[in-house]
Structure 1
């Protein structure tokens, strides 16, 4: 039986990437050792490390004045590292709150300094992205504006990012990085946990303007300073070597698919297919997000009642579909359509949904 992986993260990885990792697992590059065993100071590992940086720069068209870092701790650690580095007692930070993860980022910032909500859609249960086209009336002492580009739990996504003039814009892009093209120069810093589109869990990518990084505080612990990791090329301490190796394989796979533009086109096709199944179900399936804010990465929807949802999940699991249960905080159903989820899987899910509806409507 085929198995279709719609898990929200850790998520699906390309089959060819897994096969390459399996082939090289015990003997990487004729070293007769696994990447797991290689010293992070060895040439074999450093080749992987810097090749991954080069590939990411090329795919995202990252300008030379931006640093690329491979860190640990996931986006959750970045929630704290950002204000630790850029928020001082004379400044405040503005957060655009569009879901649970931006709530958590705001909470961490408040534990370090002054932070406020610039805009929020909590009153609508996060069914949409805040209507913010440009950041206005920002105090000159605002250190930065922070947003979350895609909201995995609620299934919403920024279509276009707000303009902030001279105020630094920071983004958590954990769940949609590498899924579409965007202008890196719009951001002073963005970060992403790898376990959605970049690779396995364990490594977090941070991309930041070098001039912005120079403004970071000097009175914080060494390990939490971005400058520490810039100076040591993300090799200040032992990095998550195997996760970075897998990240490099995934980046190579994206290149082989035709790059970001090809990936974005396929992601659009997958999302349109699934939303069409929801919209033409005569309200049997109901989407959570408003149409203008729908995510191409996480499709969230509900059925008439919990009993029907539980039956759907049971039959879906038996039919080979994994990861369709909605987040515990909102319930319902969720299909995550990250880069490595093939169109075949989405077609199969739509067919299953259509069959289930005809049998239970």
Structure 2
């Protein structure tokens, strides 16, 4: 039985080559006599895995030495709460630019800890665009400015057609949730104070997060917190302050190696452009049978929500798509409709098959 093309938003598809390597190494990792998931995270075998993963990620994303890399348990939502605890003093303002569901989620996590300033929000327009940079109402004394680089549900992404990306926020450090677009194109890490993301979209499996932070920011006092919530302590312990999600970390490391072998972020930027252009063209040339409501200047390359003109065909579309080997296309409950997530692990051929199916479905039901 052949594997389907999986358009899930997260947990998302992993590269087949990575799954095969994990399968081969599941019972025994490199003559260790046991699986990597059974070995101590403090033993030499897992330390090798962890250090290789960090080195590969640094190479993949061109991370400067003055930035620390942490591998942490949980998802991006956990980091959203910890960011405020680590980098904002009690009562200090933090600026948030809200461009979709996950931007709103980030606000919920920090409400108990900081004085939130919503510098800009696209909610009044249904999160179909990003407010122009000149309309942002930034604070002069903010601890940081937070953005969501790509909104997984609403399909909105900071793109060059919108304006300077990343946006210039002056001397205040820019923090960004990159969960659903990290490693899909080159990033100038030095333009950010902190980048974070759950791994389960482009970097690996669910259960582990990556945080990249400028080292000098870790010197901030932040707020009273338990040591387990202190990023500086995690760094000192090489992300092993407590038992980490070691198998998830190992799998992420395999994904990093795969991306490097495939040509790195430059190659995935090319593929992402090809995949997203193909899918948006299919939607835009359908005569309204399909539609995407996002401002073209900020359309996501990773997550493409779309709607059928006749919503009574939704179930039929999903059933026939599954029969054609195309799964996980149902839209998020917040929006409804359909959504195709086309992360790095989705091959161009998978999007070609989806586009062909969409045209055929329109011909038969339009």
User: Does the pair score TM above 0.5?
Assistant: yes
Per-residue deviation, residues 307-340 of structure 1 (Å, max 9, x unmatched):
1122211211122111100000110100000000
3-state SS in 2 of match to 1:28: coil
Matches within 5 A, 1:1-361: 3-132=4-133, 138-159=138-159, 160-217=165-222, 219-361=224-366
CA contact (8 A) 2:331 2:339 kept: yes
Per-residue deviation, residues 106-148 of structure 1 (Å, max 9, x unmatched):
122112121121001101111112222696x633321110010
Runs of 4+ in 1 over 4 A off after TM superposition: none
3-state SS in 2 of match to 1:344: helix
TM-score, length of structure 2 as denominator length: 0.96
C-alpha separation in 2, matches of 1:196 and 1:2: 18
C-alpha separation in 1, matches of 2:349 and 2:61: 26
CA contact (8 A) 2:66 2:214 kept: yes
Q: Following TM superposition, by how much is the alpha carbon of 1:288 offset from its aligned partner in structure 2, in angstroms?
A: 2.5
CA contact (8 A) 1:254 1:260 kept: yes
TM-score, length of structure 1 as denominator length: 0.97
3-state SS in 1 of match to 2:143: strand
C-alpha separation in 1, matches of 2:106 and 2:84: 9
CA contact (8 A) 2:120 2:135 kept: no
Q: Following TM superposition, by how much is the alpha carbon of 1:90 offset from its aligned partner in structure 2, in angstroms?
A: 4.1
Per-residue deviation, residues 341-361 of structure 1 (Å, max 9, x unmatched):
011110100010000000111
* Structure 2 unaligned spans of 5+: 160-164
Per-residue deviation, residues 261-300 of structure 1 (Å, max 9, x unmatched):
0111011111111111111111110012111110000011
CA contact (8 A) 2:76 2:179 kept: yes
3-state SS in 1 of match to 2:271: helix
C-alpha separation in 1, matches of 2:152 and 2:134: 22
Aligned length: 360
